[in-house]
Copies of this chain bind each other. A is one copy, B any other.
């Protein structure tokens, strides 16, 4: 009985998930073959089908493993904020920080594959395959409705459809910022040194999002007049 035999519960299962996370991020779902994946995981080719059933089921497992804890953490953080505030209404910026903080905290974690996952996730919101998008949507639904309710309380004067759009814009900014690593940075001729100084990025991102969320309402008369 060696020191290492402390009974890892699903060792190869976990190794496969880690390898999948990294390879899916690097090459995408289709371009990652089971042969490359299992080789990287140090497992047999048949291991994926044995442990997960199919490649599609593996993809689903990759997202469930991280997304469920991440979003329950978001909700818990929001609950904590509201409890601390007593009856007072929350600052919109505090709600934003609770949402983006969960993503940015995961990006700092380069030890486990959190960074890989966040970049993979950001790209998957716009994946061509409908069943993948609907899986993501399903995993996000509880947190999203919870945060929408919080924003509605914090911004009672904002029309419902306007809030939905501004949440959409905010979500898009976050997703793209985390997923796109070089495209615009290179174009703008910027050194990517502080790219993932998460604290500085959080300050910049939160300032941008809060201003956008609180932007003065567009004059709908202008829109109709111009039409």
Contacts and interface: CB of A to CB of B under 8 A. Distances in A.
A5 interface: no
Most buried by B among A25, A127, A168: A168
Interface stretch (A38-46, A54-62, A73-81, A183-191): A183-191
A155 B45 CA distance: 57
Q: Chain A contact residues (Cβ within 8 angstroms of B): what range?
A: 35 or more
B215 A208 contact: yes
A208 B176 contact: no
A36 interface: no
A86 interface: no
A223 interface: yes
B188 A164 contact: yes
Contact of A190 (B161, B171, B222): B161
A211 B212 CA distance: 5
Contact of A211 (B140, B188, B216): B216
Contacts of A90: none
A177 interface: yes
Interface of A: 25-28, 30-31, 122-123, 125-129, 133, 136-137, 140-141, 144-145, 148, 161-162, 164-169, 171-173, 175-177, 179-180, 182-190, 194, 199-200, 203-220, 222-223, 226-227
26 contacts: A28-B30, A28-B127, A123-B128, A125-B180, A126-B179, A137-B182, A137-B187, A140-B183, A145-B188, A145-B189, A161-B194, A165-B204, A168-B188, A169-B177, A172-B173, A172-B177, A173-B173, A175-B176, A176-B176, A199-B223, A199-B226, A199-B227, A200-B220, A203-B220, A211-B214, A212-B212
